[in-house]
Amino acid sequence: MRCEIVAVGTEILLGQIVDTNSAWIAERLAETGIDCHFQTVVGDNPERMSEVLTSALERAEALIVTGGLGPTQDDLTREVVAELMGVELVRDMEIVERIQERFSSRGRPMPENNLKQADVPVGASAITEMPGTAAGLICPMPEGKVIYLVPGVPTEMKQMLEGTVLQDLVSRSGERSVISSRVLKTWGHSESGLAEDLAEEIERLNSDGEVTLAFQASGIEGVKVRITAKAANKEQSDSLLDYEETVLRELIGDHIFAVDHQTMESVVLDQLKAQSLTFATAESITGGMIGSRLTEVSGSSDSYVGSVVAYEADVKRSLLNVPKDISVVSQEAVEAMALGVCDLLGADVSVAVSGAAGPYPHEGQEPGTVWMATNVSGDVESFKVLFPFDRAQIRQFTVITVLNALRKRLESPR
């Protein structure tokens, strides 16, 4: 069965709110084994809403429509769907009572315009769950198709989907399949390079038809490779994902740094904890951004002891033992910073960064030049990168690049 998602609301088109509902619904549809090939956002305009819903019904057997079920003049979803069904709206007194009860329980009078929320197209049925004043509706359409109307309020929408809509969809579809996905996060390889390296594997998967691969360039989060598998049950789909992840790890190697909700910083912290190592950071160009990302991870204090943000040259020299006779943007400087911060904070492991973030040269280095160092138990390795970005991106890419260098060292046998 194919199910499309339509989000109604001019405020979404204007960028005033972000449509998180469609993403959540799509994920739940995939977990349920229902295919979703299209998602649409349309404003509160009856002609355009009718056009979008008519087109969607030509492609899919079911629609989930969020929004436009409120009590105001621009809430038009009920009216548009009733017109598509070719029926009138009738007032459902049971829904009226539930709305009145909700207002009275809060000691507030019910405005007359809330009665609009009890209007139901003839032949439609109300969804049992009604956490707010908006009733969700199941609207039968010709050729056995169906439109589900749910509120745009995320908490209300989720209750209706979990309680009624998803079960009804599965019952109508007769399918008992599961679609599962896994995301491998990579760093240090381009999207086109990954696609080239995986070309033969993609061709094999396209021939088999059980598993698909997709790429997503995600800026400072690297390039993501999404594996998607469809099977009769979750155990089988997970088995397909496990096998394909093993294949991809052999083809991509240590460019893969994380899976699904893991991040570069959470992976590094996990490695440090597993090896009972303490960690410190010495930051110049990033101004504390490395430490900030690390401390966003719950439990980071198990390994991370602190940071020295040494932005001015004299601070690097006085606190981190950078020699006076060398440039503070150099290989020698970051190596001294990496050792110095471990001595100062009593850590086993450290990273250090110093560079020219731009837009002007610094210490004779062109903008984008960054020196980085990793120190693991007194063994220091350093390298230089020239980033072709603006100031903000240079700083962001520095954070994940130096953490990735440390990750590789921690994962390598010593």
**What is the DSSP track for 74-134?**
T--HHHHHHHHHT--EEE-HHHHHHHHHHHHHTT-PPPGGGGGGGEEETT-EE-S--SSSP
Task: Give backbone dihedrals phi and psi of 382, rounded to 5 degrees, phi first.
Answer: -135, 160
226/395 Cα distance (integer angstroms): 27
Domain-wise residue ranges, the chain: 3-173, 178-259, 264-411
pLDDT at position 217, please?
Answer: 87
Please report which helix (H) or strand (E) contains residue 409, including its range. helix 391-411
3-class state of residue 27 by DSSP: helix
Give the pLDDT score at 379. Answer: 97
* pLDDT at residue 364, as a whole number: 87
Distance CA 3, CA 38 (A): 8
User: What b/e string do you get for 25-61 counting C-beta neighbours within 10 Å, with b at 16 or more?
Assistant: bbebbbebbbbbeebbbbbbeeeebbebbeebbeebb
Residue 208's SS3 state is helix
Are 137 and 120 in contact by the 8 Å Cβ rule? The answer is yes
Query: Has domain 264-411 been given CATH number 3.90.950.20?
Result: yes
Residue 207's identity, in one-letter code, is: S
Quote the pLDDT of residue 238.
94
Helices (H), ranges, 284-390 = 289-295, 313-320, 331-345
Pairing of strands 146-150, 89-91: unpaired
Amino acid 209: pLDDT: 82
Report the C-alpha gap between 358 and 397 in whole angstroms. Answer: 14
CATH for the stretch 178-259 = 3.30.70.2860
**What whole-number distance in Å separates Cα of residue 150 and Cα of residue 160?**
7
Check: CB of residue 118 under 8 Å from CB of residue 92.
yes
Residues 367 and 22: their CA atoms lie apart, in Å, by: 41
pLDDT at residue 208, rounded to an integer = 85
The strand ranges marked E within 122-247 are: 125-126, 137-140, 146-150, 178-186, 211-217, 223-231
User: Which residue in the block uniquely carries the two structure tokens 């966003």?
Assistant: 296
Domains 3-173 and 264-411 share a fold: no
Residue 407 is inside which H or E element, if any?
helix 391-411
The per-residue pLDDT for 230 is 86
* Positions in the chain short of pLDDT 50: none
Q: What is the DSSP letter of 67?
A: S
**What is the fold, at CATH topology level, of the domain defined by 3-173?**
Molybdenum Cofactor Biosythetic Enzyme; Chain A (3.40.980)
Which two three-digit tokens encode residue 99? 């709305």
Contacts of 277 (CB under 8 A, 6+ apart): 303, 348, 349, 376, 377, 410
Sign of CA pseudo-dihedral 295, 299, 300, 305: positive
3-state SS assignment for residue 414: coil
